[in-house]
Structure 1
């Protein structure tokens, strides 16, 4: 576990924890191979030079439109999205997987009576493909994606909506993500945030935002609670 500088009294506030909100990609699910294959297919179809896996991975986290937009001409964007999304449905099923220990963590938390939710910048359609295919739907009380809202993370709207829907206060909530924007969203919503260092942001970028904790793997979350 990679520690951050918070005092013990602050950590003891975890005792009133009623809700844990999870980001999806990079936190619970490793879909980077699926995303890279769909991105590469789209670029090849449009006769555009591809990008390296590392470059694509760094651009993940803001939704598929944000992923494609810098790589195509404005007039190509709608077509690029159609190509990407048509390919991505199959790519997710073939190549996405849960991070080791993710299902065990969800199961233990569910048995403890903690409410669980998903807050993702990924489009709703693809989030549901992942959740159903990976057989984790039964663990979640609510799933919300940014395409149903006016704002994407790092705006806190998605966290506010989930807390309101589940009737839980910010100081009763923990948010678990993998990127600097997740910490920014958590701070803006006044929600404690733990970051799993398995996503698109570097440790330097994450530390700059001062999350409650940085952990190396999702199964380390149980040591924080």
Structure 2
């Protein structure tokens, strides 16, 4: 699908698209690891592990630093570790997290131009809401769909379709903006336009990710949408 000529809604991914949250995610993970006598993650590992939600992030963290969370040597169950990680992260979601350049301003411009704006993220709902509030995005966003709001999450297209339902906008008049392969896959699966940013946490080479358009800065998005 190409970008709709009359877009009524823009849906953003969060981590790696609107915000650079790797430092705070890594800090929360490393506090948890330290409490269990494990080595810290490197910044490179943190960035590779981001994008699939807290459960997968913690599972990758545990597997990378010793016995996996479902191991037989007394390792705590994954559910317990995920709950502890979320509590650690939620206690300081924006200590070192920053909005990417022009991100807040672009979201505000889209909203002021009459478009509906939402966030569709695999980050849990409450931390997502907290960081959007802390960094000044919240007044310009109509809906937030975290990874635990629905029974499915990216790359399942139903995550994006249910987000659009919150806005009351059909997929043929919507654009998904993200930084990785999951964001573009969910856009294609849901039938929305797909815009890939050139920064963020993609695990595949950007040239291998199919998108309708590519931008180096969110500042380029309004013109791309004809605003």
Give the structure 1 partner of residue 215 of structure 2.
Answer: 215
Give the structure 2 partner of residue 73 of structure 1.
Answer: 69
The secondary structure found in structure 2 opposite 1:15 is: coil
CA separation of 1:203/1:220 partners in 2, compared to 1, >3 Å: closer, same or farther? farther
Q: 1:49 aligns with which of 35, 39, 50?
A: 39
Give the alignment of 1:198-213 within 5 angstroms: 198-202=199-203, 204=205, 206-213=206-213
Checking the alignment, whether the CA contact within 8 Å between 1:98 and 1:134 is kept in structure 2 is yes
Aligned residues: 214
Deviations 1:180-221 (A, max 9, x none): 1111111110111101122211562x3323101121222222
Aligned mates of 2:44, 2:222 — CA distance in 1:
30
Aligned mates of 1:24, 1:166 — CA distance in 2:
17
**TM-score, scaled to structure 1:** 0.88
Q: 2:21 aligns with which of 31, 34, 44?
A: 31
Aligned mates of 2:110, 2:210 — CA distance in 1:
25
CA separation of 1:93/1:209 partners in 2, compared to 1, >3 Å: closer, same or farther? closer
Checking the alignment, whether the CA contact within 8 Å between 2:180 and 2:204 is kept in structure 1 is no
**TM-score, scaled to structure 2:** 0.88
Give the structure 1 partner of residue 119 of structure 2.
Answer: 118
Give the structure 2 partner of residue 145 of structure 1.
Answer: 146
Aligned mates of 1:82, 1:145 — CA distance in 2:
16
Deviations 1:48-83 (A, max 9, x none): 222211111111011111011131422522332233
Q: Which runs of 5+ in 2 are unaligned?
A: 63-67
The secondary structure found in structure 1 opposite 2:159 is: helix
Aligned mates of 1:104, 1:183 — CA distance in 2:
23
Give the structure 1 partner of residue 182 of structure 2.
Answer: 181
Deviates more, 1:79-88 or 1:15-24: 79-88
Checking the alignment, whether the CA contact within 8 Å between 2:181 and 2:204 is kept in structure 1 is no
Cα deviation for residue 17 of structure 1 reads 0.6
The secondary structure found in structure 1 opposite 2:214 is: strand
- The structure that is helix-richer by fraction is 1
The secondary structure found in structure 1 opposite 2:129 is: helix
Deviations 1:112-151 (A, max 9, x none): 1011011010001100110111122111111111212222
Aligned mates of 1:63, 1:112 — CA distance in 2:
31
Deviates more, 1:27-36 or 1:72-81: 72-81
Give the structure 1 partner of residue 65 of structure 2.
Answer: none
Give structure 1 regions of 4+ aligned residues with deviation exceeding 3 angstroms.
none
Checking the alignment, whether the CA contact within 8 Å between 1:20 and 1:174 is kept in structure 2 is yes
